[in-house]
Each structure stands twice: as structure tokens, then as C-alpha cells.
Amino acid sequence: MLSKLSFRQLLLGVFLLIALLLSAASLHALWTLDRLAAHSRDGGRHALALTENTQQLAERSVAMTRSARQYLVLNDPAFRLRYADAWRDAQLALDAMAAALPHTQDALFARWRQSGQQAWDILQTPPRPFATRGTRQQALERALAPLPDVNDQLADEVNQEVERRNSALLAELDQRRAVLKAQVIASILLAAALASGFGLWLSRPLAQIEQAIDTLGESRYDQTIAVRGPSDLQRVGQQLNWLRQRLADLEADKARFLRHISHELKTPLAALREGVALLEDGVAGALSPDQREIAGILNQNTVALQSQIEALLRYNAATFDAQHLHRQQVDLAALLAQCIDGQRLQSQAARLTVVCEGKARPIAADADKLATAVGNLLSNAVRFSPPGGLISFRLGERNDKLLLDCVDQGPGVAPDDAEHIFEPFYQGRRQPAGARRGSGIGLSIVQEYVAAHGGLLKLLSTERGAHFHIELPYEH
């Protein structure tokens, strides 16, 4: 399902998914804060209303007591009416407090109402004959006496209810904060997991494309390119695979062209050499000194041309063979000994000493191609070393790689030639005196074979001579 989508669509989808996840967490946090703010406002209004009712109840209790006493003293109905008004307002405040204080006992409110009712009954009852005013005054005081105590208890209940609501609000705040914290952490972790997972999944085809480009750059056209992932990257992989097939065909056409043209040139070239040899032998008649000089120049150039054609064939064959390795366990020390022994006559003729130092584990490699590479390095060192010089090979290991160094005591490589020394048919400026110029493909073949093994060939700077360094991985 995901492979049918493009890289751009998947990337946009991942970003939208992560944004949606973080937005949901942010909206939930905003909703939580709004809810807590609403609870806080409700709690404040509730506490304010309770406080106002408590104050009103206390004030009306004082007004009731004052009006009742004045009525008994002055016997003025206006004061009894004031008592009734204050009692009515006090009962409204008391009812509001009873509704807002669910944890308060009903007996406390009933006690307040009973006291108010008793005082009202006393005010409503006409004085009895022979009853003194002091008796009614005492009865009124006994009826109103519980009111201050009840008011104080109700005030305490109000404080406790406000404190209870504040505690509940703080508890809810802590709970919501813990939930919000957990949600934020979970959202961040999930977003990071999604980003990492999709990032790894999307980076895999990019790595495959990069590897495919490296493969094409190394001229390894025998490996099919397949990219798994989004549809557009799969199409890029298909285009790269088409490019690989096209380059392989071009490489095969080039190799075929070189083989054909080289063989086509060898036939007339052989006729030219044969004709020049007949002229030099005087078969067509004696040659004058000038004619003989011209025939010598022709012979020398035909020999050089034949050498160049053979070198071209060898390089073309080496380039083709580098793509087809036959790996086996190779003891490079023994292979070096064989190569040195195979060129012993050339080194002895030049009075050179060739030594091999160090050791290394056997490596899985193509023995014939490594022998050709080592042989080219040795022949190159023999060609450039002065008589009586020393050529040394050094073996070693580092970081799971086999190391091989070849050092001679020749003129070395000029700084301007160092960048081009491994290019095909390139010949440096420092050529040995009196020697025939080489074809310039020996080091190119060495580089082709080393690169085919996944290794690295470098020219290291030295004060004297040339120093070639090879690194071959033990597992490629």
C-alpha cells in the first residue's frame, strides 16, 4: 500500500500525521486549561456567595434581636414588622447556605429556624394579665440566644466548604497536570518514533540509489539495480537499471570495437613490417644510406605501433576481466615470492635486490589478477630503479584490511604526474635514460584489479623513489 505512494506524498503524510498528533495534544491541553479555569471561576463565585450569605445571616440576626427587644420595650408594631422583614431575609440566606453546604447537618439549620420561630411566636403572643415585661424579655432572650452560636458554626462550615472545594480543585489540577504531562510525553515519543521509523524507511531507498550510483561509477554493470520504497523512487531505480543495461551494452560495444579494430589493424601492420624488413634485407635492391635510414625509421614506428595495439588489447582485456573475479584463499606472501622469482632474470640483469617483508593472513581474492597487479608493480620498479638499487615489498594488516607497499629507489613520480599516473596510456616525465618508453597501461591495470577487489591503490609521497600503497578488505 505504501509503495504505491510517492516519496513526496509519504513525506507530506508523515508531517501531517505528526502535526495532527501534536495538535491533538495541544488542543487537549487547551481544553484542560479552560476547564480548570471554569472550575476556578465557579469555585470563586461559590465562595463569594457563601460569604455574602454568611454576612447577611449574621446581619439579619442582629437586626432581628434588636427589633424584637425594641418591640418589647416600646410595644410598637413597626419594630415587629422590622423583625419579620429581617427574619424573611435571613431565611432566604439560610436556604441558600443550606443548598450550598451539602455536608452540613440539617439540625444546625433547623436550630436556627426554631430560634427565629420561637422569638416570632413570643412577639405575636399578646401579653398575659398579671405577666410582667421582664418575663417576656427573658423568654425572648432564651429564644434568640442560640443564634450567634449557630451563626458562628455556619461560618465555620462555610470556611470548611470553601477549603474543601479549593482542595478538590487543587487535586483536579494535579490530576489534569499529570494526565497532560503523560499525554505530551507520549505524543512527543510517538512523534519521534513515527519520524524515526518513516525516516529510516524512506532513507533506505535513497541509500539503495546511492549504492547503485556508486556501482555504476565503478563500472560494475553485472549487478541488477532494484530500489524498494515509494513509487517515484522505484521509478528512479528502474531508470538507473535501464542506464546500467545501456552502459553495459556500450561497454560491450566498446570492447568489441577495440577488439575488432585492433585485429583489423594488426593485419596491415604485419604487412608493413614484412615489407620494411624486405627493404632492409635488400630483396628489392640495394638501398642507399638515406633510404636505409628511412626504412629504419619505418621499422621503428611499426614496432611502436604494434606495441601500442597490443597494449590496447591487454588493457581492454584487463578491464573486462576485472568485472569477473574468481575468488579463492590466496597467501599473498607466497604469491609475492612467485612474482619476484618470475622476474628474477630482469632484476639480476639490472643488479637489483628485491626483498619481501612482513606477513598477513590469506585473503579471498583472484590469484591471477593479483599476480598480474603485483607483476606490473615489480616490472615498473625494475624499469625505473638505478643499477644496484633496492626494491622492497612490505605486507601488513590494519583495521581488517591487508596492506601491501611497493617501494623503489628510482627517480620517483613528478608532482605534476601524480594526479594522472593511473590513467591509461599516461607516461610520466621522469623516464629512465636510454630505455624504451612504456605503454602506460601497467599501473592502470593494477588500479583496475585492485578496485575490482574493493581495494584502494595510492601513490604516497617519499623523498626518493616511488611508493605505491595497496589496501584490500578481508570481507567485501
Domain edges within the chain: 2-189, 232-321, 328-473
DSSP string, 222-263: TSPP---SSHHHHHHHHHHHHHHHHHHHHHHHHHHHHHHHHH
How much is the pLDDT for 434? 46
Amino acid in the structure at residue 27:
L
Nearest-angstrom CA–CA distance, 389 and 350:
9
182-189 contacts: CB < 8 A, separation 24 or more?
183/25, 183/28, 183/29, 184/25, 184/29, 187/21, 187/22, 187/24, 187/25, 188/22
Which CATH architecture does the domain made up of 232-321 adopt?
Answer: Orthogonal Bundle (1.10)
Question: Which residues have C-beta within 8 Å of that of residue 453, sequence separation ≥ 6?
Answer: 325, 365, 366, 369, 370, 472, 473, 476
Q: Which residue has the cell 604487412?
A: 271
Asked if residues 120 and 83 have their Cβ atoms less than 8 Å apart, the reply is: yes
Asked if residues 437 and 427 have their Cβ atoms less than 8 Å apart, the reply is: yes
Nearest-angstrom CA–CA distance, 208 and 226:
8
Grid coordinates representing 99 are 443548598
How much is the pLDDT for 127? 66
How much is the pLDDT for 350? 86
pTM score of the predicted model: 0.46
How much is the pLDDT for 3? 60
How much is the pLDDT for 151? 86
Asked if residues 259 and 313 have their Cβ atoms less than 8 Å apart, the reply is: yes
Q: Name the DSSP letter for residue 365.
A: E
Picking from 173, 231, 340, the residue whose alpha carbon sits closest to that of residue 2 is 231
Distances in Å between the Cα of 101 and the Cα atoms of 88, 152, 170, 326 are 20, 15, 19, 95
How much is the pLDDT for 395? 92
How much is the pLDDT for 435? 47
Q: What 3-state class would DSSP assign to 459?
A: strand
How much is the pLDDT for 431? 59
- 328-473 maps to CATH 3.30.565.10: yes
Query: How do the pLDDT tens digits run along the chain, 476 residues long?
Result: 556 666 677 677 777 877 787 788 778 778 888 887 887 888 788 888 888 888 888 888 888 888 888 888 888 888 889 988 988 988 888 888 888 888 888 888 888 888 888 888 888 877 665 455 577 788 888 888 888 888 888 888 888 888 888 888 888 888 888 887 887 788 788 878 877 877 777 777 778 788 878 777 766 777 788 877 777 777 887 888 888 888 878 877 776 776 677 667 667 767 777 777 777 777 666 777 777 777 777 777 777 676 666 666 666 666 665 566 788 999 989 999 999 888 888 888 888 899 998 888 999 988 888 888 888 888 888 888 888 889 999 999 988 899 999 999 888 887 777 777 777 766 665 555 544 455 667 788 888 888 888 888 888 888 788 899 999 998 75
Give the residues across from 357 on adjacent strands. Answer: 394
Radius of gyration for the alpha carbons in the chain, expressed in angstroms and rounded:
54
Options 1.10.3470, 3.40.50, 1.10.10, 1.20.1420; CATH for 2-189 is 1.20.1420
